Structure 1
Amino acid sequence: MASEDVVAKTSETAVNTIVNLAEEAKIAREGVKAPSHALLSISKSLVAGGIAGGVSRTAVAPLERLKILLQLSSLPSEVQNPHNIKYNGTIQGLKYIWKTEGLRGMFKGNGTNCARIVPNSAVKFFSYEQASKGILWLYRQQPGKEDAELTPVLRLGAGACAGIIAMSATYPMDMVRGRLTVQTEKSPRQYRGIFHALSTVLREEGPRALYKGWLPSVIGVVPYVGLNFAVYESLKDWLIKTKPLGLVSEDNEIGVITRLGCGAAAGTVGQTIAYPLDVIRRRMQMVGWKDAASVVTGDGRTKAALEYNGMVDAFRKTVRYEGFGALYKGLVPNSVKVVPSIAIAFVTYEIVKDVLGVEMRISD
C-alpha cells in the first residue's frame, strides 16, 4: 500500500511538473510574440497615418499653395508671386498660377509638403491613439469613473497632445516648405530642394531659424488638431447612438460618405478657430530670409519688410498695418482645402488600417 502511495504521489508530481512546464513554455512563447505583435501593430498604424496624410495633402496641393501666397500677399516682398499681383479670389488665383507656371506651379512645394506631412500624419494619428489610451486610463483611476468612456473634452486633450508632438517633430520641414512654396523664378534666393533649404537656413540664419513661428504653431495646433479629433469622433459616436436618417447600419457601420461628412465638419471647425495663428506662423517663418524680406520700390530704393520680435508683435503689427482682416487672408481657399483634406485623411486612415488588418480604429 505504501508503495502504491509513493507511485501515486510520484505520478501526481510528474503530471504537475509537465503541466507547469507546458504553462511556462506557453508564457515564454507568448512573451516572444507579444512584443513582435505590438511592433507590427505600431508599424501598421504609422503606415496608415502616413498614407492618409500624403493622399489628403496631394489632393489639395494647388489650394495649399494659393493659401500661402494669399497669407503673404500684403508683405512688401517681391517673392509673393511673379508680378506681385493681388489675387481677387480662389478661382482667379488658381487660374493665374496655371497660366503663369502651369501644372508644375500648381504643385510647387508639394514634394516638400508630403515629406513633412507623411511623418507628421503618422506621428499624429499614432500619438492620438496612445494619448487617448493614457488619458482614459488616468480618468478611470478617479473614484466612480472605473467604467468611464472617452468624452469630447478628453478627446480634445488627446488630440492637442498628438498635435503638439507631431508639429514639434516635423516643424523644420514645415518651415522650409513655406519658403520653397513662395519662391518663384524671380526670387533672388533659389532653394534647390528640401535639404539645400535646410542647410542654407542652418548656415546663414542658425538652428533657431528652423523653429521660427513654432510658438503660434503649437498654440494653433491645440484647438486645430484637438477639435479635429474631438468633433470627428464625437459626431461618429452620436451617429451610432441615434442612427438618424439611416446613416448608420444596424451593425453600427458608418459609410464612407458619412465619415467624409464627419471629417469635413471637424476640419471646418478646427481651421476656422486656429487660422489666424497659421497666418502669423507663416509670416514669422519668412523673417530672416533676407532675399524675401525686401523689395525695390517705385523710386528705386530698397524697402525692408516688417521685422517681428515675437508672436505678439507679429499679431500687433499685422493688425495695425493691414487690419484685422489680414489674419484671415487665404481663409476661403483654405476652407475649400481643409474640408476635403481632413475628411480624406480620417477616412483613408481607417480604410488603410482595415486593409492592413489592424483591429483597433481611433474611435475604439
Structure 2
Amino acid sequence: MSELLPSIDQTKKFLKQDLVASFIAGGFAGAISRTIVSPFERAKIIFQIQGPGKGNYKGIFPTIFNMWKEEGVIGLFRGNGINCIRIFPYQAVQFYVFQNLKLNFFLKSGNSEEKELKNIDRLIAGGVAGIVSVYVTYPMDLIRTRLSIQTAQNLSNLSKNKIRISSSQNPPGFWQLFIKTYKTEGGVLGLYRGVLPTTVGVAPYVALNFAIFEQLKEILPDSSAFSKLLMGAIAGGVSQTAIYPFDLLRRRFQVLAMGNNEMGFKYTSIFDALMTIGKKEGWRGYYKGLSANLFKVVPSMAVSWLSFEVIKDCLVIQL
C-alpha cells in the first residue's frame, strides 16, 4: 500500500516542477496578454495623467485613432516593448510567490488533506505576491509610463507643455530615460517615485484577482478554454474596478517630476492627492480612464489566465 503513495522525494520534485512551471508560464502569460491590449493600455495611461481641464484625448476609440493618425502603428504599441520586459518578471514573480506560499506555507500549516486555500489565505498570498512583484520591477514600470506619454499631444489644457516630444522627433529610448531619471531625480529613489501608491493599489488588486479566480474555479469546475477566459475576465474586471483610484494615483505620481508642473497637478502625499482630485476634478476624477482600463484589463486577464493555465500544464508534463 505504501508503494502506491508518493515518496517525499517525489513530492519535493513535483513541488519544484510546479513552481518553475508557474514562474515561466506566468511570465509568458503576462507578455502575451499585454501585447494584445497594448493600445488600450497606452490610452488608459494618457487619460490618467491628463490633468484638470479638457485635454485633447476624449473617448477610448477616438484616442486610439488619434494615436494611430499622429504616430502610426508604432504609436499604438509605444512603450509595449519595455512593458513586456517588465511584465515577464512581474507576473512570473507574482505566480511564483503565490504558488510558493500556497504549497509551502498555507496548505502545510492547515489540514494535510486540504487541497485548496481558504479565501483569506488566497488574499494574503496574493497580496504578498503583489508587493514582491512591484518592488522587483517598479523602475521599469515608471520608465514605461513615461515612454508612453512623451509623444502624446495636448495632455492638459495648458498652452505650454514641455513634456511632449513631437512625433516627428526621435524620442529618447529606455536607457536614455532611465539614466536621466536616475541622475536628475535622486538616484534609486527617483526610480521608485510613486511606489507607495502603486503598492497600495497593486497588493489588493493581485489579492482579489487570485482569490476571485481560484474561487471561480471551485464554483465552475468546467476546465474548457472558454470557462478559463470567462473566469479570468471576471476576476480582472472586478479586482481592477475595486482599486482603480489607486492605479490612477500610481500613474500621476510617476510623472510628477516630468517638466515643471506642466501636467496641471502637484501633490505632496497620497492623502493630498486624493483630496485635491476630489476638489478639482470631482468624484469622476478618481475614475479617469476606467473604461479604457476595463477594455484593457478584461481581455488581458482573460488571456493571461488562459495562457498561464495552458502553458503551465504543458511545462509540468515536460519537466
Pick aligned residue for 2:287 from 328, 331, 334: 328
Aligned CA RMSD, in angstroms, stands at 2.7
The CA distance in 2 between the partners of 1:110 and 1:75, in whole Å, is 27
What is the Cα deviation at residue 317 of structure 1? 1.2
Given that 2:19 and 2:99 are in contact with CA atoms closer than 8 Å, whether structure 1 keeps it comes out as: no
Pick aligned residue for 2:56 from 81, 85, 90: 85
Task: Give the structure 2 partner of residue 255 of structure 1.
Answer: 224
SS at match of 1:150: coil
Q: 1:223 corresponds to which letter in structure 2?
A: P
SS at match of 2:243: helix
Task: Give the structure 2 partner of residue 277 of structure 1.
Answer: 246
Pick aligned residue for 1:237 from 209, 213, 218: 218
Question: Structure 1 203/75 Cα, relative in aligned 2: closer, same or farther at 3 Å?
Answer: farther
Task: Give the structure 1 partner of residue 262 of structure 2.
Answer: 294
What is the Cα deviation at residue 214 of structure 1? 1.1
Aligned residues: 298
Q: What residue ranges of structure 1 are gaps of 5+ in the alignment?
A: 1-26, 241-247, 249-253, 296-304
After TM superposition, the score normalised by the length of structure 2 is 0.85
Pick aligned residue for 1:309 from 255, 265, 268: 268
Given that 1:132 and 1:158 are in contact with CA atoms closer than 8 Å, whether structure 2 keeps it comes out as: yes
Task: Give the structure 2 partner of residue 166 of structure 1.
Answer: 133
Structure 1 window deviating more from structure 2 (37-46 vs 200-209): it is 37-46
The reply on whether 1:220 has 2:201 as its aligned counterpart is yes
Query: Residues 243-297 of structure 1: CA distance to partner in whole angstroms, max 9, x if unpaired?
Result: xxxxx3xxxxx10001100001101110001110010111111111226x327xx
Question: Within 5 Å, which residues of 2 pair with 1:62-141?
Answer: 62-74=39-51, 84-87=55-58, 89-137=59-107, 139-140=109-110
Task: Among all aligned residue pairs of Structure 1 and Structure 2, give the percentage whose two residues are the same amino acid.
Answer: 37
Task: Give the structure 1 partner of residue 158 of structure 2.
Answer: none
Task: Give the structure 2 partner of residue 352 of structure 1.
Answer: 311
Given that 2:39 and 2:64 are in contact with CA atoms closer than 8 Å, whether structure 1 keeps it comes out as: yes
The reply on whether 1:198 has 2:189 as its aligned counterpart is no
Question: Structure 1 155/35 Cα, relative in aligned 2: closer, same or farther at 3 Å?
Answer: closer
Q: 1:159 corresponds to which letter in structure 2?
A: G
Q: 1:93 corresponds to which letter in structure 2?
A: T
Given that 1:223 and 1:274 are in contact with CA atoms closer than 8 Å, whether structure 2 keeps it comes out as: yes
Q: What residue ranges of structure 2 are gaps of 5+ in the alignment?
A: 1-6, 154-160, 166-170
* Structure of greater relative contact order (alpha carbons < 8 Å, 6+ residues apart): 2
SS at match of 2:220: helix
